[in-house]
Structure 1
């Protein structure tokens, strides 16, 4: 007798129960992927707070219902809006904002939303309304229920596959970002951005626009006196904070200004500065 003939056909009741568990597991994995993607898709704050902020975000959505997760996914991930991060007005230390989005057209987004809503309805049917299908004493009903569960699986697989692809893409992007953030290039760029957003540089910009001549050049010595008057503490900490002991070196390092050392008739020079045209 062949080995295949020794294998008994699966029990219809056991098959239905197996497929119920299989589909429930897929729904749970979909929910888990949504929470993972959303929890890691956006973080902003001071560098020292980023880990805590992300943990808060992840924990905050653990009790969200499937419908809420879907809405957030389409509002935050498959969204064409590009909102500016709400950063603190006065930055006193490095502050970062990072977000992950997927650019899609309106037709794709609409089709995906319909697929996700269908998935949610199928999940609710299985979790909350499956009992009418469960008639264990009816072989015919068990066969129909088994077929229904197979069809349900086929309907929700595209959503699962989509989320797995997005999760993989996001993980790759996070790895690339982590690699970049650990590089000297990022360290230098971060220091530059911090300097450019400092109160000192912002004040020098304001002064240049207020006292600059018709050609926009402003006397650095006079501007420096005004800065001393308004930001005495920042000036005192300038070398310790940014590594520059003169206003001229500070402005050059920021990359936002042109510097002109005008020769004087009897020797020496007077330094002028103005905002670079590409930073106006």
Structure 2
């Protein structure tokens, strides 16, 4: 258990990073559920959405470990040619990644490593780290930062697969706009967050390091109005919700001179 005598700042930072890592693992889990549900989906045009929702419900019952094994089996094919034919009457969408037989174990090791790290933080973190000093907190923070970086790279790989699936989905756009939107929801929202983390937006920092959200939003809307065509396409109702889902930013609300309130943000 964390010692109450430790500096409050050190304890709060440790708590923040534990939460940050867990949220990232949840994004990985959600991405896997969605990808598995979409991949190798086929059926009549008016049935595709129901098929996808049924598969998504089935994935909701699986643990991260079970999802990981399903993902490997579904997407990675050893020594096979990966081709998908498109049928106008019964369209399908799918992606299989061809790998060498000897690479299978490395893929499994990489994916299972993410599961092990997530389980350790959720179930065994306090058993491993004894928080008797600031140094102990620093050691735990170093571990959390290291695992966060690995998980972020892993999520980026999943986003890359989203991009590939999106290419296939574009071919089905006239038959099933539904699938296209579900695939784009994740990647487009992530793209908006990348814009908000860009040098242009970060150049709006005040001396205290915070950026007024409305100022940044006005610039992004002027340069990329297409991103704001319909926020609900991304599964969120506001720019702040989209940014918050990326886990890249922290937010702060301050009172204005006229007695109102405004949101500010900065990179974590």
> What TM-score range do you get, normalising by the shorter chain?
0.5 to 0.7
Equivalent in 49, 55, 58 of residue 56 of structure 2: 58
3-state DSSP of counterpart to 2:77: coil
Gaps of 5+ in 1: 1-8, 86-93, 183-280
1:131 aligns with 2:129: no
| Native 8 Å contact 1:133 1:141 kept in 2 | no
- How much has 1:135 moved relative to structure 2? 4.2
3-state DSSP of counterpart to 2:50: helix
Distance 1:73 1:42 in 2: 12
1:20 aligns with 2:28: no
The 1:168–1:127 alpha-carbon spacing in structure 2 relative to 1, beyond 3 Å, is same
Please give the per-residue CA displacement for 1:143-199, whole angstroms capped at 9, x wherever unaligned: 1111111122233333222111111221232123324x48xxxxxxxxxxxxxxxxx
Superposition TM-score, scaled by structure 1 size: 0.52
Distance 1:108 1:158 in 2: 19
| Native 8 Å contact 2:82 2:95 kept in 1 | no
Counterpart position of 2:165: 170
| Native 8 Å contact 1:40 1:54 kept in 2 | yes
Q: In angstroms, what is the RMSD of aligned CA positions?
A: 2.9
1:101 aligns with 2:101: no
Distance 2:100 2:16 in 1: 39
Gaps of 5+ in 2: 1-6, 177-268
| Native 8 Å contact 1:78 1:101 kept in 2 | yes
- How much has 1:43 moved relative to structure 2? 1.8
Please give the per-residue CA displacement for 1:115-167, whole angstroms capped at 9, x wherever unaligned: 11111110110011112245444222111111111122233333222111111
Distance 1:10 1:73 in 2: 41
Counterpart position of 2:66: 68
Counterpart position of 2:200: none
1:152 aligns with 2:150: no
3-state DSSP of counterpart to 2:61: coil
Distance 1:24 1:84 in 2: 36
| Native 8 Å contact 1:78 1:103 kept in 2 | yes
Equivalent in 119, 127, 137 of residue 142 of structure 1: 137
Counterpart position of 1:214: none
Q: How does 1:215-230 map to 2 (within 5 A)?
A: none
Counterpart position of 1:203: none
Counterpart position of 1:35: 33
Query: Number of residues paired by the alignment?
Result: 166
**Which structure has the larger Rg over C-alpha atoms?**
1
Superposition TM-score, scaled by structure 2 size: 0.54
Counterpart position of 2:115: 120
3-state DSSP of counterpart to 1:178: coil
